[in-house]
Amino acid sequence: MSRNRLIAIDSVNATIATLLMQGAAFALTILVARSYGATSTTDAWFIALSIPGLYTAALFGALKAVFVPVFSEAVKKHPEDEKLILGSAYFLIILSSCLIAILLYFLLPFIISYAAGGLNSASRVTALDLSREVLPLVVLTSIIGLMDTIYNAHQKFLAPIFTPFIRTATVFIGVYFFRGPLGIHALSYSSVLGEALQLLILAYILKRQNMFVGIRATIHPAIKRMTHLAMPPLASSFVLEFNPLVDKIMIASTAVGSITALNIANSWNEIPLLLLGTGGFMSVILSHWSKMKAETSLETVVKSVEESLLMVSYLLIPVLAVFFAFRYPIINFFYANRQFTQEGVSNVVLLWGILIIGVLPNMLWRILVRFYHVMQDTKTPFWIGMFRSVLNILLNIIFKHFWGLPGIALSTSITAVLLFSGNFILIDRRVRSFRLIYLVKKWLVMVFIGIIMTLVCLVSYNFTQPLLQSLGRSSALISMSIGGLAGVLVYQFIAQVLGVQEARVVYSEFNKKLKFW
């Protein structure tokens, strides 16, 4: 079976699994929003959760960047060293994360005073308490991140996607049954408990798959190489993850509940990124591209990168069109209640509409970063990430001054567009086999069709929704379903008429599935 075929199969399997898990996780975010609303207390929770999340997300980025390529290469040359490499990796991750957690414990008062500076004094105290309660996540999530990467390095992708359901279920139970006596603290306690249970289950799965789980108090040469290569992506990922925290800090003073509104908007935009990105597609392509480069040539990888960029764009644009067209009825249906007021709904809708602009370039940027990692170039993404951070902060300051709440979202989207555009030109000059003009033309056609689809969705919804008013709340869901289906059919039809190759591939695969069933 060809490598591209394997990528496609593994991507589909991982994406389906991610869809199921993210559906459960999203049900949890809706429960949390409807239980606690959009208040200064929920703002404090999101600030507190961002602190361990900043470190663990940066670590995840570094692990995904260097572990799979270096581990695959080292084990291919010396299969007998696999347990030593893994034991050394566990030792280093546990040691470093424990030291980071201890350091953070003493720095938390200073960090919270700055990060939650836009909140009132009572909310700042709550943020400090919550941040201490979730501090164990630094260690637990770091170990889980390593286990996920080890599993992916063995060309296996499903277990790391399914096991987060354990944490989701634990938090769901904690919030549903204990939000009364514990309040917002039910979130922190259940999050830590759920993460610990997830770690235990994942360790059991790895052991059953004959993958080493243990500690070797030594530093293997392969781990030394990984550590050396990981410094730039670790810093780059840290800077990249620091941007959302900066957004939260700067938006906190614009309105009560603004951090919560921003988090909800980002959560909806993360759905397509998680389906095609971290949860599915990205975990697959890095592993396969690394082997493809070792077994064939860089030109073969470049062709696969181009195909991935175009196919992801073709699949992502209709999702974004549906989101943009139906963002108000979606948020109003899932969130509006006595706790989550119409003001909160309006803020989420406003921020979400602006942030959608940056989703596609952000996704394509992530793919290009994986290509850099395949070439074992971690410095270029680091410097680009540094530039992104500086640009985002500058635009935040400028746009917040002129436009307040929506200015923060606008700066994020503009930064994503500028970053991808500049980086793509840079990589085109470095790898001459990239077909820059060809790709740009294809993207412009897809975006044009996506705009038409958005208009079709809006017209269809506005026509059908009044006719279905007698059905009550379900009228919105039915109208969105009809509008979305009409939009997708128009999108696919126009794409095929205009000769978009990706449309023909999707149509062909769809027909094969129909014949199979």
Q: pLDDT value at position 285? A: 61
pLDDT at 279: 45
Backbone phi, psi, residue 80, to 5° = -70, -15
Q: What is the pLDDT of residue 47?
A: 92
Local mean pLDDT, 10-residue blocks, the chain (517 residues): 54 59 72 85 91 86 77 80 86 94 94 87 93 96 88 69 83 91 94 94 86 80 82 75 81 82 87 60 59 67 83 91 96 85 90 95 85 75 80 90 90 92 80 81 95 97 92 90 96 93 80 61
Question: The whole model's pTM is what?
Answer: 0.76
CA distance 145 to 61: 9
Q: Which residues contact 365 (CB under 8 A, 6 or more apart)?
A: 416, 419, 420, 423
Could you tell me how far CA 358 lies from the centroid of its own chain? 13
User: Token digits for 369?
Assistant: 């970063």
Neighbours of 496 (CB within 10 A): 15
Question: For the chain, what is the radius of gyration of the CA atoms?
Answer: 23
- Read off the tokens for 319: 């999702």
Per the CB < 8 A criterion, the answer to whether 90 and 213 are in contact is yes
Q: What is residue 472's predicted lDDT score, i.e. its pLDDT?
A: 84
Cβ 475 vs Cβ 465: under 8 Å = yes
* 6 contacts 229 by C-beta, under 8 angstroms: no
- Note the pLDDT of residue 356: 95
The pLDDT score that the predictor gives to residue 55 is: 87
Q: Could you tell me if 311 and 505 are in contact, meaning their C-beta atoms sit under 8 angstroms apart?
A: yes
- At residue 361, the pLDDT reads 93
**Contact yes or no for 61/278 (Cβ under 8 A):** no
